[in-house]
Amino acid sequence: MHPLLEPLLQSPELGTLLNELQETWQKEQEARHLFWANADESVKAEFIAGEIIYHSPVYGRHWKLSTRLITQLLPYVYAHKLGEVAVEKAMVRCTRNDYEPDICFWKTERAQHFKPLQSVFPPPDFIVEILSQSTEERDRGIKFIDYALHGVAEYWIIDPDKQTIEQYLLLPGQTKYQLEVKLHHTGTVFSQVINGFSVQIDHIFAE
């Protein structure tokens, strides 16, 4: 039994609480369908816990860091025919929420089924989120939990201010991430999902 259910099941107000939950869920799903209907590919937006989160333009350090990582990742993945990589605007649909991670990777066995006009994608095998002041709470909070629950096997959190990369792995049979390594300014991160891919982080944070 899920530990969050225990106090609910013990409550004498179980019926009332269930009705409120169902009503809240129904309203949230209606709002979510409206979000899907009005989605604009030119606007970065996410649907998280019933709320539409619009993202303002990123700082230069954010897109420079993202660009440095992508210029290493993309050629490697395509040269070795490992799968597909998406940057910024790929909508990832989970059970309750819809996210647009900074960087996603899907292995070939999943990516080969993608269609040219597809705009919504299943949870990927590997995700990178680059922190900003406005996103850190979600990147370390609800996304951290949700990505693991939906089987994203590897999750990197990159902090431009502290110049750190945290590599989290989802072990077989688990639903919560474990920290594999945290590096500050120097060192090499070896991906466990993208076979043979590694990054020297001083190259990513180079000015």
pLDDT tens-digit series, residues 94-116: 999 999 999 999 999 999 999 99
- What rounded mean pLDDT belongs to the chain? 93
Give the CA distances from residue 118 to residues 27, 31, 44, 155, in Å, rounded to whole numbers and listed in that order: 26, 22, 16, 24
How far apart CA 100 and CA 45 sit, in angstroms, is 7
Q: What is the pLDDT of residue 5?
A: 85
pTM for the predicted model, two decimal places: 0.93
Q: Is residue 60 part of a domain?
A: yes
Q: Where does the pLDDT of residue 89 fall: very low under 50, low under 70, confident under 90, or very high at 90 and above?
A: confident
**Residue 30, domain member (yes or no):** no
Beta strands in the chain (DSSP E): 45-48, 51-54, 83-87, 91-93, 98-99, 103-107, 120-121, 126-130, 154-159, 164-169, 178-184, 188-190, 198-200
Residue 87 structural domain: 54-204
Is residue 38, in this structure, part of any structural domain at all?
no
Q: What is the pLDDT of residue 152?
A: 98
- Report whether 102 contacts 88 (CB < 8 A): yes
pLDDT(123) > 80: yes
Q: What average pLDDT does range 155-168 have in this prediction?
A: 96
Q: Is the pLDDT of residue 119 over 80?
A: yes
171 within some domain: yes
**pLDDT value at 47 more than 70:** yes
Give domain status of residue 65, yes or no.
Answer: yes
Whether the predicted pLDDT of 207 surpasses 90? no
Q: Which residues pair with 51 in a beta bridge?
A: 48
Answer whether residue 27 is part of any domain.
no
Does 18 map to a domain?
A: no
Determine the average pLDDT of the residues in 25-44: 92
Q: How many domains does the chain have?
A: 1
3-state SS class at 77: helix
- pLDDT at position 39, please? 86
Tokens of 125: 């095998």
- pLDDT, one tens digit per residue, over 144-154 is 999 999 999 99
Q: Is residue 28 part of a domain?
A: no
CATH number at residue 137: 3.90.1570.10
